[in-house]
Chains A and B, each alone.
Chain A
């Protein structure tokens, strides 16, 4: 299966702390995208990092990509209770539109 792996599966932190989630994938990718999902509803796109990029920022989010290790990480700084959600990485392996998702990390931020 091409499905990526994410760790940890679950993460519980206090408000104000940073949260780091990791994602690994199988073969060379075109880009990698991170999504958030609240309570089993639709996916909200957070950030896209291309295969030739190593780091990208968006507000309190920082994404890194290490193509030699076939891994990516998502850092959420100064977390808030509203960040509580499931976070998924999704790899685009070729020029088509098929995204391969990881299993997700369930983040709980306690006030």
Chain B
């Protein structure tokens, strides 16, 4: 079975632009979470979606938004990019969105560089 997939793998943008990152969860998983990992730090929670509804939001500005589609794939959108948005963006999928004692499985990430 395929694991969590993310696209693109790398992305270079300039300040002020907009970016869309995509994630496909493991087949059968209904929850997707997004994390931002700045170099040298642990991942920081951005959003969680379960059954197409937002379940949680981290401490990120409104420039960050996300959605989940009927097939449970997800998009993370970031508007008005800043240099500080340069990071590895990780997507994690789980079956029940943390309601049970379950593992979250991470994708390989999208590395975003903002110039």
Contact = CB atoms under 8 A, between A and B. Distances in A.
B90 A97 contact: no
A43 interface: yes
Contact of A97 (B41, B97, B106): B97
A44 B106 CA distance: 7
B10 to A, nearest CB: 12
Interface stretch (A11-19, A28-36, A65-73, A74-82): A28-36
A31 B101 CA distance: 7
Interface in B87-106: 88, 90, 92, 94, 97-99, 101, 103-106
A88 B104 CA distance: 14
A43, A90, A92, A104: most-surrounded residue (chain B CB, <10 A): A43
A45 B103 contact: yes
B interface residue count range (under 10 / 10 to 19 / 20 to 34 / 35 or more)? 20 to 34
A30 B43 contact: no
Given A42-B106, A45-B105, A48-B103, A98 B98 contact: yes
A100 B45 contact: yes
B43 A41 contact: no
A31 to B, nearest CB: 6
A88, A98, A101: most-surrounded residue (chain B CB, <10 A): A98
Interface of B: 4, 31, 33, 35, 37, 39, 41-45, 48, 50, 55-56, 58, 88, 90, 92, 94, 97-99, 101, 103-109, 111
24 contacts: A3-B44, A31-B101, A40-B111, A41-B109, A42-B4, A42-B90, A42-B106, A43-B43, A43-B106, A44-B106, A45-B106, A88-B42, A96-B97, A96-B98, A97-B31, A97-B33, A97-B50, A97-B55, A97-B56, A97-B98, A98-B33, A98-B98, A99-B43, A99-B45
Given A41-B108, A88-B43, 16 more contacts: A33-B103, A40-B111, A42-B90, A42-B106, A42-B107, A43-B106, A48-B101, A88-B42, A90-B43, A92-B98, A97-B50, A97-B104, A99-B35, A99-B43, A103-B41, A103-B42
